[in-house]
């Protein structure tokens, strides 16, 4: 799945995307990222597990086990990797599965890692198979095997690596091969955030950005953030701009309503693509069940985009049902869209 199909064609400003945008990588947004677990909000079980693992590793003066993080985009997988590197006092090297096109790309990065350094691979399920096979001895034996020449003159040389920690992040853990998945010692799934946690995140981000936000404004913003901190910060930035231009700069519930109405985001946090997805099932297929390929063809959207980005939140809030026969719109979806079943 190439990056050019990851942004919604119907969501012109990219509020809801599975990849980081320019907004997410600008200096002021990067500064919103917590640097220690004390500042990290939510995912309590995962955080507690990692804190214990880090403390135990420090007591034994060794590295922690390889970690696999699974969950929808924007829930903090990259942030957790930065915190782990900071807590361990080690350097962090970041890459992504699609960027590792050849074995040489991976080997070049592995050989530059210091002892105990953190190697983070985002979207690890998209690593090519031939590159993935280099990871097996690297993760288990901290070594990579080079093959010189071909045929009867072929020779193998094993290069020893310094012990490192691999952190893999994926939105689709089922696409990981069993040999790779089994080599991770810690496997944690990140879930959507509740409104209380999002309010804390939004108020903290507003404070860092030097923006005044009311309790009602933070609550309204949390309701529309799809349970995702990344989206909450994106929406906060859009509402901040609106408040500065059209109001006194203070973020209130009225400003949130007006700003997000311009973005096409409703009170459940659904975008125009989400609503079109549900309306397609209802109008074209009588509420379902219908296969994802049929919905994709009707909407002219990539299947991976619908499965990775649209469906998780719709399933979470109960407006979509996934059955053995296909997708169905729930009664809640009819009510939200003000349609008669």
The single residue listed with the structure tokens 């549900």 is: 278
Token pair recorded at residue 329 = 């719109």
Q: What backbone phi and psi angles, to 5 degrees, belong to 11?
A: -115, 85
CA angle 167, 105, 90 (to 5 degrees): 40
Residues with a catalytic annotation lie at: 77-78, 122, 171, 230
- Alpha-helix residue ranges (DSSP H) falling in 158-271: 178-181, 195-209, 215-223, 229-246, 253-263
Q: Is 223 helix (H, G, I), strand (E, B) or coil?
A: helix
Pairing mode, if any, of strands 320-323 and 326-329?
antiparallel
CA angle 317, 319, 325 (to 5 degrees): 120
In whole angstroms, give the CA distance from residue 193 to residue 71. 12
Q: How many alpha carbons fall within 13 Å on the CB side of residue 338?
A: 1
Token pair recorded at residue 11 = 């969501």
How much is the CA Rg of the chain, to the nearest whole Å?
Answer: 22
Long-range contact list for 234-240, CB < 8 A, 24+ apart? 234/15, 234/21, 234/23, 234/24, 235/15, 235/260, 235/263, 235/265, 236/202, 236/205, 236/206, 236/209, 236/211, 237/23, 237/29, 237/209, 238/13, 238/15, 238/263, 240/206, 240/209, 240/211
On the question of a cis peptide bond just before residue 8, with omega within 30 degrees of 0, the verdict is no
In whole angstroms, give the CA distance from residue 138 to residue 135. 5
């Amino acid at each position: 799945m190439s990056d050019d199909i990851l942004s919604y064609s119907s969501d012109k400003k990219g509020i809801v995307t599975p990849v980081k945008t320019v907004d997410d990588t600008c200096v002021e947004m990067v500064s919103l990222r917590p640097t220690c677990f004390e500042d990290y909000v939510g995912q309590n079980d995962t955080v507690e597990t990692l804190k214990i693992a880090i403390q135990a590793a420090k007591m034994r003066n060794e590295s922690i086990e390889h970690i696999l993080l699974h969950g929808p985009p924007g829930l903090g997988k990259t942030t957790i990797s930065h915190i782990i590197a900071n807590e361990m006092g080690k350097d962090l090297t970041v890459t992504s599965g699609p960027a590792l096109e050849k074995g040489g790309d991976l080997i070049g990065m592995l050989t530059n890692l210091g002892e105990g350094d953190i190697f983070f691979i985002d979207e690890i399920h998209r690593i090519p198979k031939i590159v993935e096979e280099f990871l097996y001895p690297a993760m288990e034996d901290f070594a990579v095997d080079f093959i010189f020449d071909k045929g009867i003159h072929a020779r193998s040389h094993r290069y020893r690596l310094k012990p490192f920690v691999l952190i893999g992040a994926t939105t689709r853990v089922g696409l990981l091969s069993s040999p790779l998945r089994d080599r991770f010692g810690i496997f944690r799934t990140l879930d959507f955030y509740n409104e209380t946690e999002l309010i804390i995140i939004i108020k903290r981000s507003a404070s860092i950005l030097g923006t005044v936000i009311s309790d009602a404004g933070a609550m309204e913003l949390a309701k529309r953030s799809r349970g995702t901190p990344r989206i909450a910060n994106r929406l906060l930035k859009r509402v901040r701009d609106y408040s500065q231009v059209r109001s006194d700069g203070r973020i209130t519930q009225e400003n949130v309503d007006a700003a997000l109405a311009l973005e096409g985001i409703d009170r459940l946090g659904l975008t125009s693509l989400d609503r079109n997805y549900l309306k397609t099932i209802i109008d074209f297929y009588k509420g379902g069940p219908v296969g994802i390929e049929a919905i994709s063809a009707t909407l002219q959207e990539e299947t991976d985009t619908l499965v990775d980005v649209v469906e998780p939140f719709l399933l979470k809030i109960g407006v979509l049902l996934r059955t053995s026969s296909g997708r169905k719109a729930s009664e809640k979806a009819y009510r939200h869209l003000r349609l008669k079943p």
